[in-house]
Chain A
Amino acid sequence: MQKQMAIVGVGYSGFSSISPGLSYKELMYEAAVRAYQDAGIDPRQDADGFVTVAEDFHEGTSIFDEYVPDQLGAVMRPVHTVTGDGIHGLIAGALKILSGAMNIVVVEGHSKASNILTLSQVTAYALDPIYNRPLGLNPYSIAGLEMQRFLHQTKNTVEQCARVVVKNRRNALNHPSAGHGSDISLEDVLASERVASPLRKLDIAPHSDGCVVFVLASADAARDLTPQPIWIRGMGWSNGSYSLEQRNWAHADYARQAAQMAYHQAGVEKPHDEIDFAEIDDTFSYKELQHMEALELCGEGEAGRMIDEGATQPGGSLPINVSGGSLGVGNLLEASGLQRVLEVVLQLRGQASARQLKNVETGLAFAWRGLPTASGAALVLSR
């Protein structure tokens, strides 16, 4: 895809483990005000449409999509809410521009995870009610089953998974807005509480509250608005079977398909050479390694070696999750993918302060929709 549409404004609020002072609407308002200022637009005059991502059970409100217009400046305007990851929503917004229907589109996603008092119950409610839910299992059991199979088949190790946690938690120390940065050791991770073997507590990204808002624009509008548009070069998404039993538990097939679609549009033929850095799903430590392989950032079974060799560190040949990822920033529920895109945009703009990478032209953002799904979305962005 040539330079047809771009991200011209970013705004965010958070990301911290609790946010008792602000309602979710105020988190959204704060991020939106910042995004509109960054893009130099008045949403009431300039935005042609709005896309938000939300899941009713995470919000504690049914028909939640009706609750989004006011705090985005979107009352009595075209609004479209997507249930999916934020990158699914961003793609829906980009397609409105690509179709020629709209010139400027706002995309929003947020997390008020600290308000969900029974999150494991909510996630378990997403399991098949007839075949799986009667077992009454904590949904982390699914991650445990997947991690076991992935490690068995690829010969990556629990130590290599723990190394991902150490890297991302430390990366987050250089991100002033990350909620979970810490200087932890491999031993800390390997000694943390067992949750669903081989998965331990520190293998799991803790949650954060926050909101991310983007302003997207067509090529002409983007060039009018900013000297520094970040171009959307490729987008892809894929949805695996809802059936846990029918899935491939070793490999993230949804990630491979989503990335291939995005790479094809972007003209990327050798991802490892052409992608300068990536922000990819690390909801669980092993997911970063599994996704690296599926996204063709390395060959099968090579992700562990890359982390051992430091290749995915900020100073390595292919930095991954320089922001801290979900392990360091926090799991932002539907907004997780948007946080990954946010980091890619800030890096490509040269606005990533202490964690700024040098000489980056093209970045990849990849989101998994989280438990219990086998769905994901990918975005290739460039300066």
Chain B
Amino acid sequence: MPLDKLSHPQQARAWFDNIPIQNQYTVGIAGEVFFRGLMDGKLLAAHCQECGRTFLPPTLYCGNCFSTSGEWREIVPHGVIDTFTVVHLDLEDNRLEQPELIALVRFEGCEGGLIHRLGEIDAAQVEVGMPVEVVFRPPQEREGSILDIAHVRPLTKS
């Protein structure tokens, strides 16, 4: 190890660099089913005929027994809040002017769920276990992505 070390921080030199990174991500067979479902305003989950579990988001393979799922089931888009958070930072770690309310929603009879924005409610009113429903964007605005879901909101009784 060197005997002579830097004695002032400004002597420490650094080189700066960045690269553009762009990708496309193939949604695959299960993703195709799921996103076509979203465009129709439906939540489609994968059902494993081997072990009977139903997965959302759907996968072609069963994470439990490793068989091919092979059956798609429509899920009633009403669920409950499993957990939630109010996020105060953006992706650059800057403070958000408008903090974002995010929830993980579980659906009955389904493994997994949906992580999305929670809307039409004040953060202070949110509770674990609260019933919520999925709000889809208007059909003409849907393009086959997770953002075809606008947000989830407290379940309106009807």
A193 near B104 with CB under 8 A, answer no
Residues of the A chain whose Cβ atoms lie less than 8 Å from the Cβ of B100: 137, 141
- Interface membership of chain B positions 6-29, coded 1 if the CB is closer than 8 angstroms to chain A and 0 otherwise: 100101101001000001010100
Given A121-B91, A136-B91, A145-B83, decide whether A246 and B112 contact each other with a Cβ distance below 8 A. Answer: yes
A148 near B112 with CB under 8 A, answer no
Is B92 part of the contact surface with A, judged by Cβ < 8 Å? Answer: yes
B116 near A195 with CB under 8 A, answer no
B104 near A245 with CB under 8 A, answer yes
What is the interface size of chain B, counting residues whose CB is below 8 A from a CB of the partner? 46
Instruction: Give, as a whole number of angstroms, the nearest-CB distance from A235 to chain B.
Output: 25
Within 8 A of B (CB), among A44-73: 60
Instruction: Give, as a whole number of angstroms, the nearest-CB distance from B127 to chain A.
Output: 9
Bound: A270/B86 CA distance, A: 39
Residues of the A chain whose Cβ atoms lie less than 8 Å from the Cβ of B116: 135
Given A20-B14, A245-B112, A246-B112, decide whether A197 and B86 contact each other with a Cβ distance below 8 A. Answer: yes
Instruction: Give, as a whole number of angstroms, the nearest-CB distance from A245 to chain B.
Output: 4
Given A131-B146, A246-B63, decide whether A120 and B9 contact each other with a Cβ distance below 8 A. Answer: no
Is A377 part of the contact surface with B, judged by Cβ < 8 Å? Answer: no
Bound: A129/B27 CA distance, A: 10
Residues of the B chain whose Cβ atoms lie less than 8 Å from the Cβ of A129: 23, 25
Contact of B86 among A196, A243, A245 (CB under 8 A): A196
Residues of the A chain whose Cβ atoms lie less than 8 Å from the Cβ of B83: 145-146, 148-149, 152, 249
Instruction: Give, as a whole number of angstroms, the nearest-CB distance from A50 to chain B.
Output: 20
Contact of B87 among A30, A60, A132, A137 (CB under 8 A): A137
Bound: A197/B27 CA distance, A: 32
Give the residue among A20, A118, A136 with the most B Cβ atoms within 10 A.
A20
Is A199 part of the contact surface with B, judged by Cβ < 8 Å? Answer: yes
- Interface membership of chain B positions 88-120, coded 1 if the CB is closer than 8 angstroms to chain A and 0 otherwise: 111111010001101110000001111111000
Is B131 part of the contact surface with A, judged by Cβ < 8 Å? Answer: no
Bound: A184/B67 CA distance, A: 52
A245 near B6 with CB under 8 A, answer no
Residues of the B chain whose Cβ atoms lie less than 8 Å from the Cβ of A317: none
Instruction: Give, as a whole number of angstroms, the nearest-CB distance from A175 to chain B.
Output: 22
Is B121 part of the contact surface with A, judged by Cβ < 8 Å? Answer: no
A21 near B12 with CB under 8 A, answer yes
Residues of the B chain whose Cβ atoms lie less than 8 Å from the Cβ of A20: 9, 12, 14
Contact of A196 among B23, B88, B104 (CB under 8 A): B88
Given A129-B23, A137-B102, decide whether A245 and B87 contact each other with a Cβ distance below 8 A. Answer: no
A130 near B1 with CB under 8 A, answer no
Given A129-B23, A196-B89, decide whether A249 and B82 contact each other with a Cβ distance below 8 A. Answer: yes
Instruction: Give, as a whole number of angstroms, the nearest-CB distance from A218 to chain B.
Output: 29
Contact of A145 among B5, B57, B63, B84 (CB under 8 A): B84
Is A144 part of the contact surface with B, judged by Cβ < 8 Å? Answer: yes
Bound: A147/B92 CA distance, A: 22
Contact of B85 among A30, A132, A144 (CB under 8 A): A144
B115 near A245 with CB under 8 A, answer yes
Bound: A197/B128 CA distance, A: 13
Cβ contacts A to B, 15 pairs, < 8 Å: A120-B89, A121-B92, A130-B27, A130-B146, A135-B147, A138-B87, A138-B89, A140-B87, A147-B85, A149-B82, A149-B128, A194-B88, A196-B86, A246-B55, A249-B83
**Additional pairs, 10, CB under 8 Å, beyond known A132-B146, A138-B87, A246-B111:** A21-B12, A130-B25, A130-B146, A131-B115, A136-B91, A141-B100, A145-B83, A196-B86, A197-B86, A243-B57
User: Which A positions have Cβ atoms within 8 angstroms of B?
Assistant: 20-21, 29-30, 33, 60, 115, 118, 120-121, 124, 129-132, 134-138, 140-141, 144-149, 152, 193-199, 241, 243-246, 249
